[in-house]
């Protein structure tokens, strides 16, 4: 199994500041906005199920996490909570495959938001060209809740990286 990045490298990462769980699996967030959140992952053994393919739970975690980041921004930085996640797995990815994930809003209501998330396998390591759709998800989030005091720093961290 591959080792996680050193602690000092974790502190510098945008993903580490925005979502620890995504950072811990090696996901890297690229674009952060109310209209789109995306990023990429190089599949490692620690992300795979016993059959050596990307674990569906990892795909689901990525989908809910990046949709939640976008919903938090789109709601004016209100607290969000996922209330429903539906994911379909169309193709698999194996160790060293590059995966690109992107979340976009389908509905931005005052109480409920619905985000669509797609995960694609990339053509090769040096390309940013999408090869095949691996998974598609729909994430429904409750978005009208106040942010608790202990979580107020999340807004400032997100504003640091968001395209507002």
Which positions are annotated as active-site residues? 64
User: pTM value?
Assistant: 0.88
Confidence band (pLDDT; 50, 70, 90) for 154?
confident
How does pLDDT run across 8-51, given as a tens digit for each residue? 544 468 999 999 999 999 999 999 999 999 999 999 999 999 99
Catalogue all structural domains in the chain, each as residue range(s) with its CATH number: 7-161 (3.10.129.10)
Residue 140 near residue 82, CB atoms below 8 Å = yes
Model confidence at 56: pLDDT above 50: yes
Structure tokens at 37: 């959140």
Structure tokens at 77: 């930085």
pLDDT at 5: 52
Confidence band (pLDDT; 50, 70, 90) for 88?
very high
Structure tokens at 161: 């990286």
CA distances from 126 to 31, 122, 129 (A): 19, 9, 9
């Amino acid at each position: 199994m591959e080792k996680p990045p050193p602690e000092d490298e974790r502190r510098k990462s945008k993903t580490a500041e925005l979502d620890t769980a995504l950072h811990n699996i090696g996901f890297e967030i690229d674009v952060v906005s109310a209209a789109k959140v995306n990023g990429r992952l190089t599949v490692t053994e620690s992300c795979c199920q016993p059959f050596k393919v990307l674990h569906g739970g990892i795909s689901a975690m990525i989908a809910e996490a990046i949709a939640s980041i976008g919903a938090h921004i789109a709601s004016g930085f209100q607290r969000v909570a996922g209330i429903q996640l539906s994911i379909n797995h169309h193709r698999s990815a194996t160790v060293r495959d590059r995966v690109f994930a992107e979340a976009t809003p389908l509905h931005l209501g005052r109480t409920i938001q619905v985000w669509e998330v797609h995960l694609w396998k990339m053509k090769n390591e040096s390309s940013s060209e999408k090869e095949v759709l691996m998974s598609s998800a729909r994430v429904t989030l409750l978005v009208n809740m106040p942010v608790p005091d202990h979580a107020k720093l999340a807004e400032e961290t997100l504003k640091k990286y968001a395209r507002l």
